[in-house]
Amino acid sequence: MPGSVQEIPRSPNETRLRVGSACSGWCSELFALRRLGIPAEASFAAECDAAARLMCQELWGHRFFPTDALDDALLESTPDVDFFCAGPPCQAFSVAGMALGAADARAGLMLQVLLYIARRRPGCFIIENVVGLPLRHGDFYDWMVQYLTDLKDKHGRPAYKVEWTILNARLHSGIPQHRERVFLVGLRRDRQRKPLKWPAEVPMRNLSQYLLPPTLPRSDIDPESLPNATAARNVTEFVRTLCSRGEDPMQPGYVLNVGGTYPHWNKGYCPCITRSRGASRGFYLPWLIRSLSVQEVTMLQGVLPGELPEGLLSDTQLGGLAGNAIPIDLLAAVLRSVLTAAGFL
């Protein structure tokens, strides 16, 4: 499509890891490489969300930026890369959605990601998605894995070593957020130097490290602190349930998902941050009598204070972008394993 690709001249520094992504969001992979201290060339990203594109170009200055991952430019015009990352839309496979699987039009983006890998053969790749993909749509997922496993090199040998696992942000990166995701990884066999070792479990960090002042408990819930009537109903149900158990609903540590039909809560860590909850102040801290702020939401996805440009996006846009992202610390742990196995580390 004419005009769909924005090109920025390549840096003369050729020693950096060449990185590309599709369904890129704010490009968690580039944040993760920054955490690992690995110099990266932002070769290309592909993203249809205007807010995400604005954020990415402000942060990373990609050489190419197709405005849609379904654009032929992804397959034909993007530079070759050492590492490719993709987090296609999860709604087709999520337990929170209609779970139509391959019948959902959005599943076409997953197929485009597979086609990109087949045609362009990055040195290694990571595909991230919800656990509903392998657990509820096993036939489609098995086909995906087999498709990638069956790719052949010019000698007719398997091109990639393909492996996958399910990881949780709070268990495998220390971020206090319950976020289970499947990671499907491929190492091009001419690049692989070592066996892949998945990240081990690590201690979860204290939730207080991700909260902004004031963090001192308050005595009673103020209805005015709730974002809407649904949140008020869910907080009321949370208080009623805990009181019926003889527990104190104002005890520090509870994080409530208050945006759904029924309340859901965890103690000491946040429920899974989604696009809709991140965009709508959908998490409530009863002992502090306030919602999670958008900055706290981004921190619970691994962003460091001051790492995002201020005033570029609205809180609604930024919260939604955070909810769609791959947790940076978790991706960094997976990337360390992948790049080590591929000989880049």
Give the C-alpha separation, 70 to 68, whole Å: 5
Does residue 9 belong to any structural domain of this protein?
no
> Which residues are paired to 166 by β-bridges?
182
Q: Percentage of the chain surpassing pLDDT 70? A: 89
Q: Is the pLDDT of residue 95 over 70?
A: no
Q: In what order do the strands lie in the sheet with 290-291?
A: 264-267, 254-257, 283-285, 290-291
Q: In this predicted structure, what is the pLDDT of residue 311?
A: 95
Q: Are residues 193 and 225 in the same domain?
A: no
Among 112-116, 123-127, 210-214, 306-310, the minimum mean pLDDT is found in 210-214
Q: In this predicted structure, what is the pLDDT of residue 136?
A: 84
Does residue 7 belong to any structural domain of this protein?
no
- CATH number, domain of 94, equals 3.40.50.150
Give the C-alpha separation, 17 to 344, whole Å: 8
- pLDDT per residue over 248-291, tens digit each? 999 999 999 999 999 999 999 999 999 999 999 999 999 999 99
For the chain, how many structural domains are there in total?
Answer: 2
Domain that holds residue 295: 207-323
Q: Is the pLDDT of residue 223 over 70?
A: no
Q: Are residues 152 and 246 in the same domain?
A: no
Q: Are residues 297 and 166 in the same domain?
A: no
Mean pLDDT of the chain: 90
Q: In this predicted structure, what is the pLDDT of residue 3?
A: 32
Q: Is the pLDDT of residue 98 over 60?
A: no
Q: In this predicted structure, what is the pLDDT of residue 90?
A: 57
Q: Are residues 165 and 228 in the same domain?
A: no
Does residue 275 belong to any structural domain of this protein?
yes
**59-68 average pLDDT score:** 92
Q: Are residues 127 and 256 in the same domain?
A: no
Q: In what order do the strands lie in the sheet with 17-22?
A: 40-44, 17-22, 83-86, 124-130, 180-188, 160-168
The two most distant CA atoms of the chain are separated, in Å, by: 70
Pick the closest to residue 342 from 61, 38, 69 (CA basis).
38
Q: Is the pLDDT of residue 60 over 80?
A: yes
Q: Are residues 130 and 184 in the same domain?
A: yes
Give the C-alpha separation, 43 to 3, whole Å: 18
Cα-Cα-Cα-Cα dihedral sign, residues 17, 23, 27, 33: negative
Q: Are residues 231 and 315 in the same domain?
A: yes
At 101 the three-state DSSP class reads helix
Q: How sure is the predictor about 218, in pLDDT bands with cuts at 50, 70 and 90?
A: confident
Does residue 143 belong to any structural domain of this protein?
yes
Among 132-141, 151-160, 269-278, 330-339, the minimum mean pLDDT is found in 132-141
Q: Is the pLDDT of residue 200 over 90?
A: yes
Q: Are residues 174 and 227 in the same domain?
A: no
At 313 the three-state DSSP class reads coil
Tokens representing 321?
Answer: 């972008």
Give the C-alpha separation, 122 to 186, whole Å: 9
**80-89 average pLDDT score:** 93
Q: In this predicted structure, what is the pLDDT of residue 217?
A: 75
C-beta of residue 162 within 8 angstroms of C-beta of residue 193: no
Question: Interhelix angle for 138-149 vs 108-120, to 10°?
Answer: 10
Q: Are residues 51 and 103 in the same domain?
A: yes
Report strand pairing: 40-44 vs 83-86: unpaired
Tokens representing 262?
Answer: 């029924």
- Cα angle vertex 75, ends 274, 341, to 5°? 70
Q: Is the pLDDT of residue 10 over 50?
A: no
Give the C-alpha separation, 277 to 297, whole Å: 10
Which residues have a catalytic role annotated? 90
Report strand pairing: 254-257 vs 283-285: antiparallel
> What predicted TM-score, i.e. pTM, was given to this entire model?
0.91
